[in-house]
Each structure stands twice: as structure tokens, then as C-alpha cells.
């Protein structure tokens, strides 16, 4: 016959109140935990780079109308002569 797991034995094996079971869990899954935390670091870095890119694009778009205005003034002066 199959052995059934008794609830109290299961609770002794892994429990949030048993610090040794938590330490064992962390030891066994340290790579997975670090990868999980790395996901948030990568998301933060990509978001920061995206914000910098947006600021650069806005600055570039603000400079373009000034260049267009200068060129149009030059064309207007040449056409008047």
C-alpha cells in the first residue's frame, strides 16, 4: 500500500515558522532567487535607458524647428533679391 503523508510530518518538513526549512529552501534555490531579482534590475535599467532616449529625442525635435526657420529665412532673403 501507499504511504500517506501525515499533515504534521509535512508541516515539520517545510514551514514558514521553521527557520531551518527556510534556510534549506534558500540554499537549494539560490540561483533561481538571484535570477528572479535580476529580472527587476534589468527592467529598471531598461526603463532608465528608455527615459534617457526619450529626453534625447525631445531635445533633438526642439532643435529642428530652429534650423528650419534659419533655412527658410535664408531662402526668403534670396528670393527677394
Number of domains in the chain: 1
Could you tell me the residue range of the domain that residue 14 belongs to? 7-80
Q: Which residue has the higher pLDDT, 80 or 54?
A: 54
- The DSSP output letter for 14 is S
Instruction: Give 17's contacts (C-beta < 8 A, 6+ positions apart).
Output: none
pTM of the model: 0.56
What was the pLDDT predicted at 3?
A: 63
Q: Which residue has the higher pLDDT, 60 or 10?
A: 60
Placement of cell 508541516 in the chain: 11
Quick one: average pLDDT of 49-60? Answer: 94
Q: Does 1 reside within a domain?
A: no
DSSP string, 9-28: HHHHHS-TT-HHHHHHHHHH
Q: Does 2 reside within a domain?
A: no
Q: Does 70 reside within a domain?
A: yes
- Distance, in Å, from the CA atom of 55 to the CA atom of 61, rounded to the nearest integer, reads 10
Amino acid at each position: 500500500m501507499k504511504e500517506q503523508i501525515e499533515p504534521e510530518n509535512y508541516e515539520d518538513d517545510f514551514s514558514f515558522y521553521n527557520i531551518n526549512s527556510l534556510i534549506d529552501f534558500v540554499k537549494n534555490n539560490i540561483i533561481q532567487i538571484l535570477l528572479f531579482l535580476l529580472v527587476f534590475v534589468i527592467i529598471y535599467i531598461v526603463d532608465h535607458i528608455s527615459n534617457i532616449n526619450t529626453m534625447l529625442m525631445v531635445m533633438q525635435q526642439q532643435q529642428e524647428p530652429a534650423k528650419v526657420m534659419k533655412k527658410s529665412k535664408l531662402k526668403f532673403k534670396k528670393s527677394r533679391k
